């Protein structure tokens, strides 16, 4: 999908090597290495404090690593860019707690996320083109919120907010999506629907899903990476990983 | 494109506001100039100037609402931009006095002669020209806001910390302008104005024109602010207020948006100050007092944060109440009343007068409203 740019060091979409970061002496990430191929969907699991969220913070520019390489698209060094620049490169992020703009309508939430020029002047004199409006309508359909488009996002249920946020990611049209616990706090029915939605998205985007819910991961049916104490403990299909003695030990306590 | 920018999405409330301000701007000067003094329709020059002052405050309130109500930047130093605009106007008015001052010096204002200064400081150059002075009314507050905001927003100073720095900014300016060596008249400030554009500032006709001009500027300020908040940029700004880091992860450079709104707002506050000075007849360092900026915050909170009409209404209502209170036997209690009003509004009317009235009106029309989310807490 994404041909490596000339001068690329790697054909991977995302390439982390030997990344470490510590907060006040606590090593949140130690020597983490991970690669995501273009078009790949990857699930990341790990007990609390394994460094899942910190890893996302590093990829999206919120946290700068102390050492290590973080490359995007083969040639872009993410450690030098800020959040906005990274977002505009094509990395979208969904937070653990659904964060939508409560005081905007659902439609405006999507409009704000819609891929477009983000400069001050462009937004000041913005006019939505018919093609962009069509895309907004399409996304509202995908996340099943068409009939609620005029409602304020703050009035949505928890599950609907999660979908709205996924819709906003779709509108951003990123090359890589980072999704933090999409099924948290959802009913079983909503969880299953979310899995379908994510699989749909993964057809033409690379996706990293961080999740606790094993049932959900099983439904996704993708390669799994287990994090523990800031580095990769195991990697492979879910069945293989969950048979791994070290993984069992980490999850059940020693 | 400009018309579309200014008038699109105008709602009923906006039109009502425009109509009222336009009517006041037309009828009050006419009632002052044409009606005989004994007529019940006559508006005295003093009353007109008093209301002119309220309307300047309304413009200041709109400018503060733009940054606080929409962008979540609680500026406790907006009085500084107002005062700087006022000083720029005051400098023009001082230069117009010419040799009619007490000391009769054709170039130097009285206070400089009094301080034994021999020549005009360089930063007073050009202020004898009205267009230049008007440019400075916009440029000085705007530039200060831009430089201040550049550092503050880039360093991601937010919330209480930013409020405290803005407060310190206005306090620092207060102290600086108190000094005689600054060359702005020190403690006494600038006063004893004679002419504006060749017309006597004290004359009834000039007062009426200033009042009308204040209404014109209030309308312009409202239209610009409204154009900004209803544009997509306005949506981004509200998004920043409610979820700043989320907005950043969507790819918006939050600091630039804040800087834009903050600078526009400071220019608007400067215009309000420039209109205030000739109507009040004096500008002195007390306009920089932190308490003034805090009062402005109270006006906006009382009228309705996040509503431009509400902010303007709050400024007029609170200042009218202040005039009534401080001129009678209740004068010693005004500050208590103001404090109590702020506490009351914060606790029981978080949406201010206008928001509460609107909520009440809508609940009458429609018994079961869709539950709206709680308003974001004030920073």
Query: For residue range B102-147, what is the model confidence (pLDDT) as tens digits?
Result: 998 999 999 999 999 999 999 999 999 999 999 999 999 999 999 9
- Residue B350 pLDDT > 70: yes
Answer whether B83's CB lies under 8 Å from B172's CB: no
Contacts of A84 in chain B (CB under 8 A): 248, 251-254
- Residue A165 pLDDT > 50: yes
B364 interfacial to chain A (CB closer than 8 Å)? no
pLDDT class of B6 with cuts at 50, 70, 90: confident
Tokens 């509200």 sit at which residue?
B238
> In chain B, whose CA is at the least distance from the CA of A116?
B251
Contact check, Cβ <8 Å, A120/B251: no
pLDDT of residue A1: 43
- d(CA B227, nearest CA chain A) in Å: 9
pLDDT class of A201 with cuts at 50, 70, 90: confident
- d(CA B239, nearest CA chain A) in Å: 6
Mean pLDDT over the full length of chain B: 92
Contact check, Cβ <8 Å, A101/B246: yes
Contact check, Cβ <8 Å, B236/A123: yes
pTM for the predicted model, two decimal places: 0.91
Smallest Cβ distance to B242: which of A88, A101, A125? Answer: A101
For an interface test with A, the pick among B150, B229, B251 (most A C-beta atoms closer than 10 Å) comes out as B251
pLDDT class of A253 with cuts at 50, 70, 90: low
Q: How many whole angstroms separate alpha carbon B183 and alpha carbon B115? A: 10
Contact check, Cβ <8 Å, B251/A111: no
- Percent of chain A predicted with pLDDT > 90: 56
Average of per-residue pLDDT across B253-282: 97
Higher pLDDT pick, B39 / B143: B143
* ipTM score for this prediction: 0.87
Q: What angle do CA B342, B347, B351 make, to 5 degrees?
A: 80
Token pair recorded at residue B175: 């102290």
Rounded to 5 degrees, φ, ψ at B115 are -85, 5
pLDDT of residue B379: 47
- d(CA B71, nearest CA chain A) in Å: 12
Contacts of B253 in chain A (CB under 8 A): 84, 118
For an interface test with A, the pick among B154, B232, B372 (most A C-beta atoms closer than 10 Å) comes out as B232
Contacts of A93 in chain B (CB under 8 A): 249
Contact check, Cβ <8 Å, A155/B1: no
- d(CA A212, nearest CA chain B) in Å: 23
What does the pLDDT look like over B72-90, one tens digit per residue? Answer: 999 999 999 999 999 999 9
Higher pLDDT pick, B288 / A97: B288
Rg, chain B, Cα only: 21
What does the pLDDT look like over A124-133, one tens digit per residue? Answer: 999 999 999 9
The residue count of chain B comes to 379
pLDDT of residue B369: 46
Q: How many whole angstroms separate alpha carbon A127 and alpha carbon A133? A: 10
Residues 6+ apart with CB under 8 A from B140: B84, B85, B87, B88, B270
Smallest Cβ distance to A104: which of B1, B238, B260? Answer: B238
Pairs of residues, one from chain A and one from chain B, whose beta carbons lie less than 8 Å apart: 87
Neighbours of B321 (CB within 10 A): 15
What does the pLDDT look like over A231-250, one tens digit per residue? Answer: 999 999 988 988 888 888 88
């Amino acid at each position: 999908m994404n041909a490596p740019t000339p001068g690329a060091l790697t054909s991977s979409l995302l390439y982390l090597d030997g990344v470490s970061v510590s907060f006040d002496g606590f090593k949140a990430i130690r020597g983490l290495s991970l690669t995501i191929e273009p078009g790949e969907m990857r699930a990341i699991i790990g007990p609390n404090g394994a460094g899942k969220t910190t890893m996302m913070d590093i990829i999206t520019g919120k946290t700068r690593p102390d050492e290590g390489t973080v490359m995007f698209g083969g040639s872009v060094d993410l450690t030098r860019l800020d959040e906005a620049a990274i977002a505009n490169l094509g990395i979208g992020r969904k937070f653990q707690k659904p964060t939508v703009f409560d005081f905007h309508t659902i439609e405006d939430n999507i409009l704000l996320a819609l891929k477009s020029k983000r400069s001050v002047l462009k937004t000041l004199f913005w006019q939505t083109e018919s093609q962009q409006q069509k895309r907004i309508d399409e996304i509202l359909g995908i996340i099943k919120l068409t009939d609620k488009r005029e409602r304020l996002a703050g009035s949505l249920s928890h599950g609907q907010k999660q979908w709205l946020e996924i819709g906003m990611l779709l509108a951003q049209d990123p090359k890589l999506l980072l999704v933090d616990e999409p099924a948290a706090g959802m009913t079983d029915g909503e969880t299953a629907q979310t899995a379908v939605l994510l699989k749909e998205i993964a057809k033409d985007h690379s996706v990293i899903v961080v999740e606790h819910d094993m049932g959900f991961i099983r439904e996704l049916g993708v390669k799994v990476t287990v994090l523990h104490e800031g580095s990769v403990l195991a990697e492979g299909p879910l069945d293989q990983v969950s048979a791994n003695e070290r993984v069992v030990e980490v999850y059940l306590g020693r | 494109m400009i018309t579309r920018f200014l008038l699109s999405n105008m709602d009923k409330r906006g039109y009502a506001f425009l109509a009222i301000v336009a009517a006041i701007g037309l009828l009050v000067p006419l009632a002052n100039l044409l009606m005989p003094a004994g007529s019940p329709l006559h508006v005295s020059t003093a009353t007109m100037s008093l209301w002119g002052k309220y309307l300047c405050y309304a413009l200041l309130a709109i400018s503060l609402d733009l940054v606080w109500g929409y962008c979540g930047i609680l500026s406790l130093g907006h009085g500084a931009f107002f005062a700087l605009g006022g000083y720029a106007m005051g400098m023009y008015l001082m230069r117009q006095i010419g040799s009619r001052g007490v000391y009769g010096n054709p170039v130097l204002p009285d206070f400089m002669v009094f301080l034994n200064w021999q020549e005009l400081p360089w930063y007073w150059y050009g202020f004898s020209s009205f267009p230049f002075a008007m440019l400075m009314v916009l440029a000085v507050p705007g530039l200060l806001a831009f430089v201040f905001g550049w550092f503050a927003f880039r360093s991601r100073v937010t919330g209480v910390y930013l409020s405290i720095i803005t407060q310190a900014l206005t306090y620092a300016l207060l102290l600086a302008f108190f000094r005689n060596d600054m060359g702005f008249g020190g403690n006494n400030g600038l006063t004893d104005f004679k002419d504006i554009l060749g017309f006597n500032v004290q004359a009834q006709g000039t007062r009426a024109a200033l009042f009308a001009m204040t209404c014109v500027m209030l309308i312009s300020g409202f239209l610009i602010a409204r154009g900004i908040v209803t544009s997509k940029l306005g949506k981004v700004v509200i998004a920043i207020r409610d979820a700043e880091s989320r907005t950043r992860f969507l790819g918006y450079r939050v600091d630039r948006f804040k800087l834009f709104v903050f600078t526009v707002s400071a220019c608007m506050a400067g215009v309000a100050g420039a209109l205030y000075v000739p109507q009040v007849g004096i500008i002195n360092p007390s306009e920089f007092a932190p308490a003034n900026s805090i009062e402005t915050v109270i006006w906006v909170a009382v009228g309705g944060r996040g509503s431009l009409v509400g902010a303007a209404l709050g400024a007029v209502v609170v200042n009218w109440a202040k005039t009534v209170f401080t001129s009678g036997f209740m004068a010693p209690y005004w500050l208590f009343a103001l404090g109590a009003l702020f506490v009351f509004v914060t606790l029981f009317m978080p949406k201010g007068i206008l928001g509460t009235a609107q909520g009440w009106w809508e609940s009458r029309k429609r018994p079961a409203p869709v539950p709206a989310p709680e308003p974001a807490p004030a920073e």
